[in-house]
């Protein structure tokens, strides 16, 4: 009996011949995803604002290019997508991952500048990524968008009202964009990470250090998530293995939102 398309995909590298853009690729989940995408055969644009995008691309080697980008600026996001097309000829996977949380405060203690910045990076950045990335995918016959939301976009988080609002917006952008392009070959999904060890405290910039045993976040599995575990979920959504999956917001959270 002939192998199914999915069985064939499992034999070869899952992103062979595809081109991916990863924002926030300088560290944490983005760095882990960029490395995994390359290992699975993709050409990768490593995009970041930190300056570590060059290091990330260099670590991957041939088939990766760095782009310095502020995801809240439309001209820079458009240029990022153009780089993928100019360097590699197409865009198949877009991982809108860049974001930040900031220190916790009661709602009334957030100033407007902090509100604007949180919304600009975490929500507007995802909007701009899709605005400029999806047309490039359509020109190539389709693709997969993965957005980084958060468990804070699914349930309330004390002290994180603005961040939670931005990530909740990411969930709804994801679902609505998935419907917009469901018949045009572009799938749009989100991951909702729980508390993940992404360079916090003494962890390395690539998130590879092991959290100390005494550090136990309030997740049912009793431990931190690791960037590589989040990247594995992103790879599934990027690959043809998830060809019938769109409009989802998948918790990858050690059971945090299951309670």
List active site positions: 163
Q: Is the dihedral of CA 173, 254, 42, 60 positive or negative?
A: positive
Largest CA distance in the chain: 64
Provide CB contacts within 8 A for 143, sequence distance 6+.
91, 92, 93, 94, 133, 134, 137, 185, 186, 187
The region that residue 4 occupies, defined by phi over 0 for left and psi between -120 and 50 for alpha, beta otherwise, is: beta
What whole-number distance in Å separates Cα of residue 50 and Cα of residue 74? 18
- C-beta pairs of 99-103 under 8 Å, 24+ apart in sequence: 99/24, 99/125, 99/148, 99/166, 99/167, 101/160, 101/163, 102/163
> Cα angle vertex 70, ends 114, 148, to 5°?
75
- With b for 16 or more beta-carbon neighbours within 10 A and e for fewer, the 163-179 pattern comes to bbbbbbbbbebbbebbe
What whole-number distance in Å separates Cα of residue 123 and Cα of residue 149? 9
| 84's tokens | 């993928």
């Amino acid at each position: 009996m002939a192998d199914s398309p999915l069985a064939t995909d499992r034999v070869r590298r899952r992103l062979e011949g595809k081109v991916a853009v990863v924002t926030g690729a300088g560290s944490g989940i983005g760095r882990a995803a960029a490395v995994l995408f390359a290992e699975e055969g993709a050409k990768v644009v490593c995009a970041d604002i930190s300056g570590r995008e060059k290091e990330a691309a260099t670590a991957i080697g041939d088939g990766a290019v760095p782009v310095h980008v502020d995801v809240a600026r439309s001209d820079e996001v458009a240029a990022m997508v153009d780089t993928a097309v100019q360097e590699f000829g197409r865009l198949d996977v877009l991982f809108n991952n860049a974001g930040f949380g900031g220190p916790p405060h009661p709602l009334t203690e957030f100033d407007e500048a902090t509100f604007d910045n949180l919304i600009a990076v975490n929500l507007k950045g995802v909007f701009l990524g899709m605005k400029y990335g999806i047309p490039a995918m359509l020109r190539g016959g389709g693709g997969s968008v993965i957005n980084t939301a958060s468990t804070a976009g699914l349930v309330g988080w004390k002290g994180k009202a603005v961040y939670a609002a931005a990530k909740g917006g990411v969930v709804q952008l994801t679902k609505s964009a998935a419907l917009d392009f469901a018949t045009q070959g572009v799938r749009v999904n989100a991951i909702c990470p729980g508390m993940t060890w992404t360079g916090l405290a003494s962890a390395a910039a690539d998130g590879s250090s092991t959290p100390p045993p005494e550090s136990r976040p309030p997740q049912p599995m009793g431990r931190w998530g690791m960037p590589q575990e989040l990247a594995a979920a992103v790879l599934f959504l990027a690959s043809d293995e998830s060809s019938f999956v769109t409009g989802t917001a998948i918790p990858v959270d050690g059971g945090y939102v299951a309670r």
